[in-house]
A and B are shown apart, each in its own frame.
Chain A
Amino acid sequence: MAGVETLRVVETHARAYRRIWRGSVITTFLNPILYLAAMGIGLGVLVDEGTGRQALEGVTYLTFLAPGLLAASTMQTGAGDGAWPVMVGIKWQRHYEAILSTPVAVRDLVAGHLLWVVVRLFMVTVIFGFVMVMFDATGVAGAIRAVIPAMVTGLAFAAPVTAFTAWTEDHTGLTNLFRFGIVPMFLFSGTFFPITQLPGWTHPLAYATPLWHGVEMTRAWSLGLDPTLPPVVHFGYLTLWIVGGWIAANRLLAKRMVN
């Protein structure tokens, strides 16, 4: 699947990133610091003093929140990178058209794009892990165990969102995707509180979201607990989104660009 053309696409992503890496790294640091300070510490004190502990399997709110927030961050990175840069390439700057006039084919372009997203997810995860340890939300081992499930979560959004972007006409579709898809998932998929706090009829909705499975796995492995379902189910579901999204992205981008 991934030929040498794929690596050339990754190379150009990396070259473009060299120009913005400082700003990007600072944002990537700042984001978890702000969230963990405000919610983990500020709000966490109230939760820990109240009845929160029983619902959180005995850990502090900060410890509970940090891995969930990590999974939600990789979701946002994956979805964001699957949306805006892809629309820039297709429509706003049209450089995908230029790339596809070279020996690079749609499948190389998609594979290279997703491979670059993997690199980005790794950076986000490592920086987030560093902040988690800094806040004493988890130990170094806990941060390291969170890397794989967090990255898989991000990719489970990057691939289908890339496909969606290849299909949707313009920024309106992307804005709606974030407004009605990504943001509600961020709030209700177990990032900030266990979904058992919600009425029972909502649980199947949460099970359908890739984020819930990502949060479950990232939190369980980071804290050394057992996830709700066997890991093979959680990872299997996320893999379904990755593979399905990848295949759809190839087809939809080909339909849009090579017609």
Chain B
Amino acid sequence: MEEPALVKARGLTKRFGDMAAVDAVDFDVRTGEAFGFLGPNGAGKSSTMRMIGAVSPITAGELSVFGLDPERDGAVIRSRIGVVPQQDNLDEEIPVDENLLIYGRYFGLARSELWPRIEELLSFAELTDRAHDKVSSLSGGMKRRLTIARALINEPQLLLLDEPTTGLDPQARHLLWDRLYRLKQRGVTLIITTHFMDEAEQLCDRLVVMDKGKIVAEGSPRSLIEKFSTKEVIEVRFPVGVQETLADRLDGIAKRVEILPDRVLLYTDDGEATTHEVHSSGLEPESMLDRRSTLEDVFLRLTGRTLID
């Protein structure tokens, strides 16, 4: 018996005027998993998240969260989820700990209950020594961690993270990923949108690839890569101006050849053999990089475009 879905969408649609931001998508998010929406900006990820978060009415289709209808039971749904929006929306003028207190009060939690929880969350977010500082004095990574801590103040069963690490430096991203992984281990269900394929691979058990409001593929990162890409990819770069003249000579050299403005991707199951073949065919690339396939390659295959334009 499969567990009933925590979030269930059928034909879910969001239109703004004539434009369908989300176009009849189906998906299920199961309890305890980390579920991702991967896609470029404008794919409809944030609109989907806002509908799940019961702050954006659906235009058509069906959506249930905890088995509840967001339209009718929005306040109940919102009381059981945590939201980390794309742009930080902390109260900059008040201290770190009071941001958490105030937010907890919106959920109707008692101060006596909140203070110990705030202490715990500040330590989780590594912000204990900044507790009394104004939010405006925090770094980008710290604000992001505070936003996540704030989203946890009501001990949510479901955490919605919209582009959680956009704009952070690598170190701050890894710290954040670590915190999210810990939450997942505690049994919190995570829904994450991202346009970073490494983030999706790191964090998500299962994901859907979105493009132009539609879901174009669904599965675990591994299975998507297996299904839509090869084991290895060779990135070939030529000196400026040379690629155009040589690219057609790469035809048939690998299982699939993808020509991008700045490089050529050779999809192959045997990187060494393909590398050898490039050399023996007399081509003289500036550089060649043999790497494993990623979700970026899956997206390129499915949409013909790269994730970050």
Contact = CB atoms under 8 A, between A and B. Distances in A.
Interface size band for B: 20 to 34
A97 B89 contact: yes
B202 interface: no
B78 A95 contact: no
A98 B89 CA distance: 6
Contacts of A102: 78-79, 103, 106-107, 154
Interface size band for A: 20 to 34
B216 interface: no
B75 A103 contact: yes
Contacts of B56: 258-259
A99 B56 CA distance: 14
A12 B105 contact: yes
Contacts of B85: 94, 97-98, 101
A5 B79 CA distance: 12
Contacts of A97: 55, 85, 89
B91 A103 contact: no
A115 interface: no
A93 B16 CA distance: 24
B57 interface: yes
Contacts of A99: 106
Contact of A5 (B90, B98, B106): B106
A98 B162 CA distance: 13
A132 to B, nearest CB: 32
Interface string A61-83: 00000000000000000000000
Contacts of A9: 106
Interface in A195-217: none
B90 A98 contact: yes
Contacts of A4: 108
Contact of A104 (B16, B106, B154): B106
Contacts of B93: 16, 19
Contacts of A11: 105
A94 to B, nearest CB: 4
A22 interface: no
Contacts of A94: 85, 87, 89
A171 interface: no
B107 A103 contact: yes
B53 interface: yes
Nearest to B16: A259
B106 A16 contact: no
A199 B53 CA distance: 57
A8 interface: yes
Contacts of B101: 15
Given A105-B74, A258-B55, A8 B105 contact: yes
B102 interface: yes
A49 B101 CA distance: 59
B55 A101 contact: yes
A226 to B, nearest CB: 46
A195 to B, nearest CB: 41
Given A103-B79, A258-B57, 18 more contacts: A4-B108, A8-B105, A8-B108, A12-B105, A15-B101, A16-B91, A16-B94, A94-B85, A94-B87, A95-B89, A97-B85, A99-B106, A101-B55, A103-B75, A103-B106, A104-B106, A257-B55, A258-B55
Interface of A: 4-5, 8-9, 11-12, 15-16, 19, 93-95, 97-105, 257-259
24 contacts: A4-B108, A5-B106, A8-B108, A9-B106, A12-B105, A93-B91, A93-B92, A97-B89, A98-B91, A101-B83, A102-B79, A102-B103, A102-B154, A103-B76, A103-B78, A103-B79, A103-B106, A103-B108, A104-B106, A105-B74, A105-B75, A258-B56, A259-B16, A259-B57
**Pairs A-B, 9 closest by C-beta atoms:** A94-B89, A102-B106, A101-B83, A103-B75, A98-B89, A103-B79, A12-B102, A97-B89, A95-B91
